[in-house]
Every structure is written in structure tokens, then in C-alpha cells.
Amino acid sequence: MDVSVLIGSGRPWAEIVRVARAADEAGAHAVYIPDHFMPNTADDSIVDGARLEAWTLLSALSQQTTSCRLGALVLGAGYRHPAVVANMAAALDHVSSGRAIAGLGAGWQVNEHAAYGIDLLSDGDRSDRFEESVHVVASLLRERRTTFDGRYYQLHDAPNQPEPVQERLPVLVAGKGERRTLRTAAKYAEVWHTWGTPESFAAKSAVLDQRCSEVDRDPASIRRATGFFVEDLSDGAATVAPFRDVCDEFVFGDLGAPADDLIGAVRAALA
């Protein structure tokens, strides 16, 4: 099982670099950055709270690391047109020498959508938009030209050049919705991620297997990633141990503990 880390974008840049470099040197599979612009609130109120923009951080970290993969966990579909996302992913793949992951999600945080005037949409419409978005990103990363006529997106013989360095840049689909999100993952993803316990993740993973069967996809062709936001970072090895039989990748979520504690947990998990 690989070990990765999600570094909170509310940390100062110097801390983000320090955690990323340490994870890279320890042999982490990936460093992820969340795609949010303000803290989440229980009442959806708009609040202050610094957040550095995800893709700018990933591009900068590509020059501060050497071997770990780099991706957002995950880009919100409503914030970014998928054609722009595909071009961003290809560019990151070049500047990182083939280490980019295209991490995609439907979006969910109410307050930032309200603050910036971005329509979050109803659950059903958001799922529709997300599936179209993943289709477009995957096609632009894999095909020479893309034509698509959807409800939300229309492309006409669209290129994405230069193509990624990786022969098949991984598309990561995040979410746990059994009817729509897992179907989208089965159709398009190289990696599927959702947070959970070993038991809840294993149950969702079994549903993904079913969705793969429905679209004639080998379930083994989709990498499974999970993890959780860890409060007790004192024993990283013990934290990841229960997940070894249920996933391919464990991601340490960042709750803002001291950087040294997060680094220590990742190092212990990888020792």
C-alpha cells in the first residue's frame, strides 16, 4: 500500500514546502492539495481564512520535489471549465517531468460558491455536470482531438497540445455516491478516492466493482485510494495498518497540526 499526504492550503507556503519535501524524501506516493478558497462552516456563512490556490501550489511544488506525484484532491467541477483543467494537467505533467494527477470532484462547499457567485446546482444537476466534466478531461488527455455536445459543455475538434508526458495521465475521480459518482469512476477513472474507515471504504469499493461490471471494465484497473483526517499523529504506522487490506493508497488528511507532527506520521507510515 502506498502512502500519500494532503497538505492543507491554509498553511503558510514555507510549511507547505517543508511538508512536501519531507514526504517526497520519505518516499510518499503523492502530495495532494485541496481546492478550496475559504474555510468551510457549519452554517454555510462566508468567513475569513487564508487559502492558497491549489494549482498554483502544485506548479510551484513541482520544482520543490523530485519523485512524488502531484495532484489536487480535488478540483471542484464548478470552478473550472474541463478544457482548461485538461490543459492545466498536461502543463503540470511537463513541468513535473510526468508526475501529475488530474484529481476531479463535483464540488460541495456552499459558502465559497455563494461568495463567488458560482452555481452549486442541485444534487442531480451537479452530478450531470460532473460526469460531463470528467468525460471531457479524460478525452482531452487521451485523444488527439475531442468533440463533445453535452448539456453543460460543448467542444468542437478540440486539441490539447502538448500532450501529457505520461502515456496515460491518471484521472482521479473522488466521491462516494453509489449511483452516479461510482459509475463515473468506473467509466473514466484510473484512480478512485473517498474518505472513510476501512469498513466503509471496503463496502463502497465493492459497489465500484459492480459499476465496473456494468460498463464492462476490469475492476482491478482502477486504483483505490482512501484515508482520513488524522487527529492523533503520534503513530503513523498504526494509523495506516488497518487499511492495508482494503486499498492501494492511504492519504493522510491535514487538520492543521504542527508540520513536524504531520511529517513524523508520514515518515513512520513509510518506514
Percent of the chain with pLDDT over 90: 100
pLDDT for 42? 94
Residue 73: pLDDT band by 50, 70, 90 thresholds?
very high
CA 160 – CA 163 distance, rounded (Å) = 6
pLDDT digits (tens, 9 = 90+) for 167-211: 999 999 999 999 999 999 999 999 999 999 999 999 999 999 999
User: What is the structure's pLDDT at 3?
Assistant: 98
**Are the CB atoms for 140 and 83 separated by under 8 Å?**
yes
pLDDT at 40: 94
Q: Are 63 and 18 in contact (CB under 8 A)?
A: no
Burial label, 149 (beta-carbon count in 10 A; 0-12, 13-18, 19+): exposed
Cα–Cα distance list, 34 to 123, 153, 192 (Å): 21, 24, 16
For 143-157, what is the mean pLDDT?
Answer: 98
122-141: average pLDDT: 97
- Mean pLDDT over 110-139 rounds to 96
Q: What is the pLDDT of residues 208-248, one digit of tens each?
A: 999 999 999 999 999 999 999 999 999 999 999 999 999 99
78-83 average pLDDT score: 95
The predicted pLDDT at position 13 comes to: 98
pLDDT of 251 reads: 98
| pLDDT (0 to 100) of residue 83 | 98
Domains and CATH numbers, the chain: 2-270 (3.20.20.30)
